[in-house]
Structure 1
Amino acid sequence: MFSSDILEATVTIIPLWDSVAYITMKAVILDGEWDPRPEYECSETEADTHKSNNGSQTWKHPALHIENREKPTPESDEVLVKVRYTGVCGSDISMTHADGDRYMHYSAYVNLPNVIGHEFSGEVVETGEDVQSFSKGDLVTSEVTSYCGRCHMCRNGFNGHCENFEQLGFTIPGAFAEYVAVPEILLWDVSPLEKAYKSKDDILKAAATIEPTTITYNGLFGRAEGIRPGDYYAFHGVGPIGLTGMNVARAAGAGAVIAFEPSDERRDLARELGFEYVFNPVETDPTQAVAQVTDGMGVDVHVETAGAVAQTYPAIDETLAETANVVHISNAGEPASVDLRQYQANAAQVYGAEGHTGDRIFTGVIRLMAAGKLDNLPLVTSIFDLEEADTAIEQASKRVDGKVLIEV
């Protein structure tokens, strides 16, 4: 815990010199030292703004602390959300852990200091004057990438690749805090979950798992093509993204869902969720396991969520069904060796999938949850208080849990 940094008051009124007062909130801040590696070529924008395209090349000595900072006031197009639950993502682990040279592990966009956290649920408490779709009391979750709508990429429908993007919890303040201000265009109403969950707490707990679920949903139904009910799936890596993806595959009518995961705890959790074909790839040859489950037909949909591409792709190459789809979701730390001749022979294809912006992705996940076809509550295995955010991240880094949540 941040025992030396925690302030006792949850909400404090601090007088300013002009006798005006403002309200503070608790927030978990990630800070670091801007020190680009000598071999890394910073762009002019990176050098000026410190919004890095690759945190592992620029930000050194990442460190968490908790502080009382001013509660956000929503802009005209923003909504102020009182946070209830925030999930710990693999990116939060990567941003807070460092390599031998003390550079953070996270290899994508980040700007510090910043409030991290992006998988969250909460309740609307205030809206900007131009907000039309939300009102006080609405229960919500959010997308991550804020897009401008004006650049070339946005105007061509690629909002997730906006040239002027910001990312909640990465480059702008996120949800490891009591309140977060979110652009209206990123918010989603989760009130339909009332059909599936009896209590407000369960609704908000489930809603905090929507964002990670959309990652695989986007890969399967936003990026890949031709996936059908009855397809055989194999998930390589059964962490939170893999587990939520397995739930999506089952809800979408999978003929069988096969899981490969070396962690005993996560294999046990997958079985508790009702998945029958769960294997340790270290002890069981994936090729033999797939042949047994599919009667030698192979896997129609491979999903790489492990990042251990040196181990996963040889098994994927050997178990491709005809016209198989391979959906790559993990942030691998090394390049994968792929047997292109095998893909050619099987008329198979690989789809890179990142993010979840637009394309009815959130709508689809929320509808599946509301219909009772996708229940992520059993995935939640650990819950920590906001003041224990560092402990929560360390717990998640052990890679034995389903989903670790922070309760605000």
Structure 2
Amino acid sequence: MNYTTLLEEVKQYALHFFKSHEENPFLYHNQDHTEQVVKAATQMASYYQLNDRDVFIVLTAAWFHDMGYYTGPAEGHEKNAADLAAVFLRQHGVDEADITEVQQCIMATCMNGQTPAGLKAQIVTDADLFHWGTDDFAERNKLMRKEAEARLNKKISKEDWQRGTIKLLSSHHFKTTYGQQILEPKKQKNLEKLRMKFEEEATPINISTKPVSLPEAVTSKKTKDRPEKGVETMFRISSGNNQRLSDMADNKAHIMISTTSIILSVILSVLLRKLEDNPHLIIPTMLLLVVCVTTMVFAILATRPNLSDGTFTQQDIDNKKVNLLFFGNFYRMSYDEYANGMNAMMNDRDFLYGSLTKDVYSQGVVLSRKYRLLRKAYDIFMFGIVLSVVAFAFATIIFGH
């Protein structure tokens, strides 16, 4: 079966379909949106290097996925679109297995909170909402609101629409790794902009004749003016920097362990056997042996993990004393206990930011210990290796003959 030729026929059918239904006032679910979905699906299909058959299934589903709006009510339009696709594909002699997969991909665009089965269906689902992770989000969202008002024949307030959109974007997750890695960051930025706009426009100004105490006013202003995005960026950068410093410390410790291991292997396999014939090398050899062993011990201590008991109590949650972001504080707890604790933390902004603060602080404490031990290891090795070389040279010159 020539999927490339068949796909071109699907495209021509779709374009003719939309042209013949121009009287329907769909401002969002129209040919423009469909072509954007096809373009996004093509982009992701290329990213995953799909074969011709899979590309045909994905793009056919993308062309048909919103045609159901023109043949029936908005509710259940996915089923109508899937039926249209099946009729067209059967007329063109497409295998039933291919038709079934096309229908499954179309039905996957139904926003029911379930994860579509299979990569092809996930690609179509993410392509349908591709604009959520692009700069076109604001403009497309306005068109969606206008279409909803025309379809429902009623005015939807800007506040209600923004509230619903925020809820929708907050609960949404891209299904493909492409969407999660490439589209999700921009989607989060769009969501943050929408939240800020909603708070600015929807929060009424409270005019009260009651006197407001200065401390409360100052506290409220500071809380309101604090840039939430800036705080999150600060925590992300701090945690990332600490992680990189920790990796650097581990690498330096590994270098020191490897170096001293090589020297020790030479001492034990070569020098010790020659000490009987060269007694003047006993002291320099023992000095070098002690230096290497001591250095290795400090380097190992710098990378040696330290775990707490891995448990917490409900009182710790209530008092906001436990840091659930570090596995060492919960690895012995049951999942339900941990999930309850995480829910409590996510629903309490002070608890959440307090945990992030503790996490960054704890990373700093661990880093301080690592670098102190690592510095001692390097100091011992540096001065010890110099003394050992001097001792070997002195013993060889004075007693070697």
Q: Same fold (TM over 0.5)?
A: no
* TM-score bracket for the superposition, by shorter chain length: under 0.3
Q: Normalising by structure 2, what TM-score?
A: 0.23
Which has more strand, going by share of residues? 1
Higher radius of gyration, 1 or 2: 2
More helix by share: 2
Q: Which has the higher contact order (CA 8 A, sep 6+)?
A: 1
